[in-house]
Structure 1
Amino acid sequence: MDIRNLLTRFLSQQGYEVGSAMTAAEVGAVLAVRKPDLVLLDLMLPRESGHDICRLIRGHGATPIIMVTALADVRERIAGLDLGADDYVSKPFDLGELAARIRAVLRRPPGDLAPVAPAQQPGYRFGNWTFIPEKRALYSAEGVRMTLTGAETDLLLLLWNHVGKLMSRQQIIELLYHAPGAVEERAIDLLVSRLRRKLAHGGRQLEMLRTVRGDGYVFDPGTGLPDAGAAN
């Protein structure tokens, strides 16, 4: 039994409604008519790049993506995370671990709800942004909405809860993934880089999220203290 049939049967037994697609064209056809709650994306496809399909899915919104990738292929994992994947499992993997990772990703707030103006609900305010984790989004004072992936949302919320404190890469890994060594330190660097690029739309991104060479990162939203009107 190939991995696609194995996962389809296993996830169906877990109570999920499961569909499958083999090509970018098939994925695009599915996304045109429905939005999956989660995508398991095998990077080792016979005719097309899994990374290209990851880009295609991201072009349709923030549907959570869990990559399925070879154990030794660290570069593939990092590239997938940099494209916006939320998590990965390495082959060979335990089906129980996969089920746990799926549950963890699905517990995250949805990222493609209709935009809501920052003034209409509480959020975490800093610089030019209002950060609303429940929407997985940043809203600028000018009305720009910047959608975040689940991993970017988790990272920004973690940094917010440690404003002004130096966070090493290993600390970030342990707090985000609840296990030391869950991902490579390079993956954290790329995750920070992605978040910086999105913060750049509001200006001062380098000052907000500073690199301390050799040690880690410090998040300083401007005053060094949470805004008085921010959510608790």
Structure 2
Amino acid sequence: MTSGNSVADQTIHILIVEDDPDINALITRFLKKSGYQAEGVANGREMDVAMAKHPFDLVLLDLMLPGETGLDLCRRIRATSDARVIMVTALAEVTDRVAGLELGADDYIGKPFELIELAARIKAVLRRGAPRKSETAGTPEVIHDSLHFSGWRFEPERRLLYTKTGVRMALTGAETDLLLVLYRHAGQVVSRRQLIVLTRGDEDAIDERTIDLLVSRLRRKLAQGGRQLELIRTIRGDGYLFDTTIAGGEEKPS
């Protein structure tokens, strides 16, 4: 692992959950040098203690941990915290990576990795989850941008989807990114490779099978709205088409 120079927001708190003490110390030092508030722990028990003391903005979570696995801990984080999660894995199986995304992880990075790549992924995840400038302490009510299509209301910043009757559904970070890209390209066929680049910024970030599984999961959530129309159509050999009409009064996605 090699480092890169960057300047980060010192108000951002990052927790590193990694059982290898050398790797843990290396990442922790690098993030502190980059300007983050960083703390390293070795397992789920230590993670719980750290998160009980103060909230974290992002958790860097190793998949292969002694005792409780990273997937177990990701599930617990999602149930108790709004922290962003980046899974760290040495496993090559796509199902292992998708499992983390389906449990609510916002991204993953494979071992071995360069520290400069880790820094870029952290910035990207934090940027996707950053609140608007108007979201300050003491504000009684925050108005979030809403996108409307086929009776649905979509709030990307809050990772929420509402049915026509107002039923709320929580989306994972990966689902939010995918739906936002599809919305912005409504009526256009988008290839799997394009979806990877547009959601992750890197053609090699994930493979096409991961996109297929995320589309399948998003379809199931959209189906819960009681609408029979298949909004995400598979165009054989080409990719996916978001087959919907954007609600009037809003600018058509470009």
Residue 64 of structure 2 is matched in structure 1 by 44
The correspondence for 2:126, drawn from 106, 131, 138, is 106
Report whether the alignment pairs 1:77 with 2:97. yes
1-structure distance, mates of 2:241, 2:66 = 42
* Change in CA separation of 1:94 and 1:133 when aligned onto 2, cut-off 3 Å: same
1-structure distance, mates of 2:25, 2:228 = 45
2-structure distance, mates of 1:205, 1:58 = 30
TM-score by length of 1: 0.84
Residue 235 of structure 2 is matched in structure 1 by 212
Partner amino acid, structure 2, of 1:209: I
Residue 216 of structure 2 is matched in structure 1 by 193
* Change in CA separation of 1:205 and 1:199 when aligned onto 2, cut-off 3 Å: farther
Report whether the alignment pairs 1:133 with 2:133. no
2-structure distance, mates of 1:142, 1:33 = 39
Alignment of 1:88-107 (within 5 A): 88-107=108-127
Alignment of 1:23-62 (within 5 A): 23-62=43-82
Structure 1 residues 67-100: Cα deviation after superposition (integer angstroms, max 9, x where no partner): 1111634432232223221111111110111111
Residue 193 of structure 2 is matched in structure 1 by 170
Residue 177 of structure 2 is matched in structure 1 by 154
* Change in CA separation of 1:122 and 1:174 when aligned onto 2, cut-off 3 Å: closer
| C-alpha contact 1:37 1:64 (8 A) present in aligned 2 | yes
| C-alpha contact 2:153 2:163 (8 A) present in aligned 1 | yes
Unaligned runs of 5+ in 2: 1-20
1-structure distance, mates of 2:26, 2:44 = 21
| C-alpha contact 1:130 1:140 (8 A) present in aligned 2 | yes
Higher helix share goes to which structure? 1
* Change in CA separation of 1:207 and 1:73 when aligned onto 2, cut-off 3 Å: closer
User: 34-43 vs 133-142, which deviates more?
Assistant: 133-142
- Superposition RMSD in Å: 2.6
2-structure distance, mates of 1:205, 1:23 = 45
Q: How many residues align?
A: 225
How far the C-alpha of 1:142 sits from its partner, in A, is: 3.2
Partner amino acid, structure 2, of 1:52: D
- Three-state SS of the structure 2 residue aligned to 1:207 is coil
* Change in CA separation of 1:128 and 1:32 when aligned onto 2, cut-off 3 Å: farther
Report whether the alignment pairs 1:5 with 2:38. no
| C-alpha contact 1:196 1:206 (8 A) present in aligned 2 | no
| C-alpha contact 1:131 1:138 (8 A) present in aligned 2 | yes
Unaligned runs of 5+ in 1: none
Overall identity of the aligned pairs, in %: 55
2-structure distance, mates of 1:206, 1:83 = 26
1-structure distance, mates of 2:61, 2:127 = 19
